[in-house]
Chain A
Amino acid sequence: MSECNVDDAASNEAWVPFKDRPEWRDLKPIPQDDGPDPVVQIAYSEQFREVYDYFRAIIAADEKSERALSLTKEAAELNPANYSVWNYRRNILQELNKDLKEELKYISQVIEDNPKNYQVWHHRRVIVEWLEDVTDELKFTEKILKEDAKNYHAWQHRQWCIQQFSLWDQELDYVDRLLKEDLRNNSAWNQRHFIIKNTTGYTDEIIKKELKYSQDFIRKAPNNESAWNYMKGVLQERKLFDFPGVLEFCHELYSKQIRSPFLIACMIDCYEEMLELGKPKKEETLQKATQLCNELAEEHDTLRREYWQYIARSLASKYGADVSGDS
């Protein structure tokens, strides 16, 4: 939530002090009022102080002019997280009927310099909304995601554009490309879920396809949690058991001596579901499930011992006569 590096303060060499700007002479700057006994007081640079003194004056005068617009640019550059500046800039853009395509170009540069900032992405979104033009958006977010494939703001903007302007068609191909580059990119898996849920939905046919898709990735890297989570997400509204392939798939990996905690957890989930549905051989199933919980707790996932012991106890108390999940 706090994305700013307090170690590198930007400095701008070409900055002109306001006393050397005749066009500002008519406006009286308003200093910040921190009260008589200031706290968390930032030692502002001269530039920062002056720019914001004038910014306050502009707001007080409700001035929406070219010079005010360029002042917001200066202020935003000094602190791109100042939402008041961006908000006021939007008011000016509207009032002066500015070319929004130009604004989009400008904000692209700002986002590239500050890709993890809430305000700059929100500004972009509002501009796109006003323009009702989404031509550059997919390309732009791809550019950002190329630098950081998990940038949350970029994904958020992308999802909004896709939803708002119905850009669903090519998205699965993009996700596929990203997963081929990095099968651990959880944001890409999430995007896959988002796209399918909002287009075809998880029909029987799609489920079969997606099971195979995720299982192929799991075979390549059984310790990759993202693919396991996606596979379970595919079956979320259904029962794991409606698709008997799942438990068999797990058994196949288990018999190859794979002991990924995510594999064992998935087997436990299958058994739990069998118990819930009242399938035959209840005691045997419960025993298998609690046995696997203990394997995780004692050997393959000892970090989560408390959790797995709890799962074992709660399965035993729910489905067994004897409450001894805790060994």
Chain B
Amino acid sequence: MADTSRFRCLSPLFQSLLFKDDDCPTNTSIEQKAVEESVLKCYRTFRSSLDIYPDMPFLDREMHTDFLTKGLQTLSSSYECLDSSRPWLCYWILHSLELLEVIIPEERALAIANFLGKCQDPEGGFGGGPMQFPHLAPTYAAVNALCILANVTNKVFDVINREKLYNYLMRMKTKEGAFKMHDGGEVDIRGVYCAVSVARLTNILTKELSDGVADFITRCQTYEGGFSGYPGLEAHGGYTFCGIAALVLLNHTERCDLRSLLRWTANRQTQLEGGFQGRTNKLVDGCYSFWQGATFPIVHMIMCTDDDDQNLSAERWMFHQEALQEYILICCQHSHGGLIDKPGKARDHYHTCYCLSGLSVAQHFIGGSLSNEIIIGNPQNRLRPVQPVYNLSLDSVMMAQKYFGSLKLPSGAANKC
């Protein structure tokens, strides 16, 4: 008989964690219960396979790598709906591969960089594909992808037209301190994070670019504690990550109510499933493993510099790292490779990237000079640690800092922030 006591999902009281609807069923609770049923089924199957394979759960690196490397070359016509997200596809795949420690051959790296160059607009910024208008989201994805490729050869950085990129970012900036996603496009906190992140990585974050941006971000923190996409809207995992990560990049973390942010984020881990939901009373989804999960190392990092320091754990983040790993490994691996939102959903590269990124956050505690690894299942499940603010490996961030750190600011930009 296998040792089941190591797993939270197999503990005797696990059933007591089922959603409590207080005898007042509504749409929300009915949908929640259906998801819990499907998750329980995964955990039961896992229990029975544990007798045969005692080092379960097992991250199927080979199959995921296969799914990813195939996608890096060709994708079926069902991906036409992502035809304006091709730099994203590059980033999702490359980042997943760097977490899995798969090495990219140099000619492949140059081919990807060359393709991203084709997506760059002559007036700066990157579009969703060749000859598409520049957009902040693919711009973020392209710059991040190039940072990963720089580990193979830093020639790839030559692709980025820094001066024009700066002009593009300035052109997208709005009066309220936010950014339009593209010319004539929508304004929300994603744009802020994308703009600030690429500006930091390429060392063009000037005072005029960052002026007033923290004010806009602050207006997005809601009464619940998380951040919304735009002032007034509901707190949401993806936007919360964008908000707090951007404040770190802008050196304005004092503008955030950390205590309420921490409370809200801690409450987003779901009792039974162990994964994260994006908003209060919504369903668990594998991609929030990163969007919510990464907020913990970021908040920890901020608090480390406060006087609260001695109360912080020296071993763990403030969420249940084992529970999240169990959810990702047992419920979110697609049988043909790739990772998913929740049981029964289709696989895609987006969920593969953010499930793996969240898994990495859950495996590695790194607080200043302290570090602690918690690896659920087979020891080979270990992924590379991530830098949570950029969602890149530590090496990829360093490549960018080394390369762009010494370059001068674009002309016309007077003072550095």
Contacts and interface: CB of A to CB of B under 8 A. Distances in A.
Contact of A122 (B185, B266, B271): B185
B280 A186 contact: yes
B269 A304 contact: yes
B80 interface: yes
Given A32-B130, A82-B128, A190-B234, 13 more contacts: A1-B287, A2-B82, A2-B348, A6-B82, A39-B73, A42-B77, A59-B131, A122-B186, A187-B234, A187-B279, A198-B232, A232-B223, A306-B319
A31 to B, nearest CB: 10
Interface in B55-111: 71-86, 88-90, 93, 107-108, 111
A288 interface: no
A90 B71 contact: no
Task: Report, as a range, how many residues of chain B touch the other chain.
Answer: 35 or more
Contact of A32 (B22, B129, B133, B184): B129
A224 B28 CA distance: 10
A299 to B, nearest CB: 10
A309 B318 CA distance: 9
B135 interface: yes
20 contacts: A7-B346, A32-B129, A35-B115, A39-B73, A41-B73, A84-B127, A118-B181, A118-B186, A187-B234, A193-B222, A193-B223, A221-B21, A225-B280, A229-B224, A229-B264, A233-B224, A306-B317, A306-B318, A307-B319, A309-B313
Contacts of B72: 39-40
A77 to B, nearest CB: 11
Interface string A150-187: 10100110010001000000000000000001111111
B78 A83 contact: no
A291 interface: no
Interface of A: 1-2, 4-9, 30, 32-45, 48, 52, 56, 59, 78-84, 87, 90, 118, 121-122, 125-126, 149-150, 152, 155-156, 159, 163, 181-187, 190, 193-194, 198, 220-226, 229-230, 232-233, 236, 260, 265, 303-307, 309-310, 313-314, 317
Nearest to A55: B131
B280 A33 contact: no
Interface in B122-152: 127-133, 135
Contact of B233 (A39, A159, A183, A310): A159
Most buried by B among A42, A43, A80, A232: A42
Given A156-B229, A314-B308, A221 B115 contact: no
Given A1-B190, A40-B93, A226-B281, A9 B78 contact: yes
